[in-house]
Structure 1
Amino acid sequence: MKKLLTLYIALLLISCGGGGGDEPTPPPVENKAPSIPTLTNPTNGLLCISNTVDFTWTSSTDPEGDLINYEIMVAKDPGFSQIVSQKQVQTLTTSVTLEKGVAYYWKIRAIDAKSKASEFTGVWNFLTEGVGVVNYVPFVASLVKPTLNSTVTGTSVVLEWNASDVDVNDILTYDIFFGTTTTPPNIVTSHTSKNYTRTGLLPNTTYYWRIDVKDGKGGKSTGQLWSFKTS
């Protein structure tokens, strides 16, 4: 009888134990960033008649279906060190009142409800019309190659950039600054093409360069400082 009672208790304990414990907790689902929006207006290189500018862009999508905000940044330089407007909106348009006769640069990114952000769009530029202005300063040159802070091989490099002007008939020329300090000397004045081959590079050296754009009518934009390294 005692053996039967012991066996009964053992079976009862086994049946109460659940046999396998709790189910494992599934890993949390990764929150992914929204897609990158697309800029639509003002178009790249546009001369805006009004200094109250309407910005528009296409919508992003979020993999988890989260609510999306759009962060828009407007600056006086393509590096966005001189930001004049930065805000978040849920709509696909917003207006900003800016100074007249000034070149501006803008970009946007999408941010979901969990603060996960997409990459920024590319940078577009535009110009607000000035009062009585008959000549507009060219836009700041944009880098093509070598890419910023990249490493190049060999003893020569092709420097390449883009530049534009809302005065479409202006003939642009370029002052090239190049050297091993953050204040590189002017090595070429009034260069006529958007590329330049520099030879005689030293190994394991950081080079700095910039392009100033001139329109031949006294208009000039000072470029950003770019750099690359040699292997």
Structure 2
Amino acid sequence: MRVYKIILIVAVLNIGCGKKSVDITIPPPAKAELLLPASNSACTAGIAVSDAESTVTFNWAVAEHADSYELYIKNLLTGTLSKHLSTANQANVTLLKGTPYSWYVISTSAKVPETAQSDTWKFYNSGPGVLSYAPFPAVIKAPIYNQVISTATVELSWTGSSVENNITGYDIYLSSNSSSLALQKSDVKDLFLANIAVNPNTVYYWKVITKDAHGNKSDSGIYQFVTK
């Protein structure tokens, strides 16, 4: 009986000292805070590489738990989007002069599949002899591309910005024919146009022309929505 008690005590001790499983949570990367080129600015710090191009340095704050970054740059005139990889919180990219761009950064980590996207900023890559900058193309808010509208009227909305803060108004074009958009209303001061009557079962196309005090203009590009 004494031997049995000793064996039982040893067995209990072995169970109590056994290894316990520990769940380790690896946090996802945080959103990067953009630094330069500054939002809605004219970038004049680029290093010229030719008459048409300059190298621009993009900077952002180190994002917590990130070990690499994806920098995305969009030419706002052509819509071309380029991707640049970096393990540091900066990247040098050669861009066209006198051209508006937008950019954002995605934080990534080799330890987890989750990512985090920064805000999107716009800037002009300055060029020689530029006296004024056209407004940035308007960003369409609603309806989003191919959104289905089930009401008899629609409200169009967008955002606008410029380096010189001198936007004077917006011209709104709308049509069911993508090749011949008609002027719906000119010199709109708000960032929306409401109560536009639409027909059912129709694809509509629309765009926003942004104008400034110097007579410069920019085109949002054509968006579309569907009624039912």
Decide: shared fold, TM above 0.5: yes
Alignment of 1:3-42 (within 5 A): 34-42=29-37
Unpaired runs of 5+ residues, structure 2, are 1-23, 47-54
| Superposition deviation, residue 176 in structure 1 | 1.4
Amino acid of the residue matched to residue 80 of structure 2?
A: Q
Contact 2:135–2:167 (8 Å) recurs in 1: no
| Superposition deviation, residue 198 in structure 1 | 4.5
| Gap change, CA 1:100 and 1:81, over 3 Å in 2 | closer
Of residues 175, 178, 186, the one that matches 2:174 is: 178
Contact 1:109–1:117 (8 Å) recurs in 2: no
Query: Which residue of structure 1 lines up, in the alignment, with residue 4 of structure 2?
Result: none
Residue identity over aligned pairs, in percent, reads 28
| Gap change, CA 1:212 and 1:165, over 3 Å in 2 | same
Contact 2:26–2:112 (8 Å) recurs in 1: no
1:215 matched to 2:212: yes
TM-score by length of 1: 0.72
Contact 1:43–1:124 (8 Å) recurs in 2: yes
Report the Cα distance in structure 1 between the residues aligned to 2:42 and 2:174, rounded to whole angstroms: 32
Query: Which residue of structure 2 lines up, in the alignment, with residue 76 of structure 1?
Result: 75
Runs of 4+ in 1 over 4 A off after TM superposition: 29-33
Query: Which residue of structure 2 lines up, in the alignment, with residue 26 of structure 1?
Result: none
Report the Cα distance in structure 2 between the residues aligned to 1:86 and 1:224, rounded to whole angstroms: 22
TM-score by length of 2: 0.73
Amino acid of the residue matched to residue 72 of structure 1?
A: L
SS class of match (2:137): coil
Report the Cα distance in structure 1 between the residues aligned to 2:61 and 2:35, rounded to whole angstroms: 7
**Alpha-carbon displacement from aligned partner over 1:125-144 (angstroms, at most 9, x marks no partner):** 00122212212111010122
Root mean square deviation, CA, Å: 3.0
Query: Which residue of structure 2 lines up, in the alignment, with residue 123 of structure 1?
Result: 120
| Gap change, CA 1:127 and 1:90, over 3 Å in 2 | same
Amino acid of the residue matched to residue 46 of structure 1?
A: S
Amino acid of the residue matched to residue 197 of structure 1?
A: A
1:157 matched to 2:154: yes
**Alpha-carbon displacement from aligned partner over 1:17-68 (angstroms, at most 9, x marks no partner):** xxxxxxxxxxxx9998533323232222011122343322233344xxxx62
SS class of match (2:102): strand
Of residues 42, 52, 57, the one that matches 1:54 is: 57
**Alpha-carbon displacement from aligned partner over 1:79-112 (angstroms, at most 9, x marks no partner):** x8413x5211111122223232211111111232
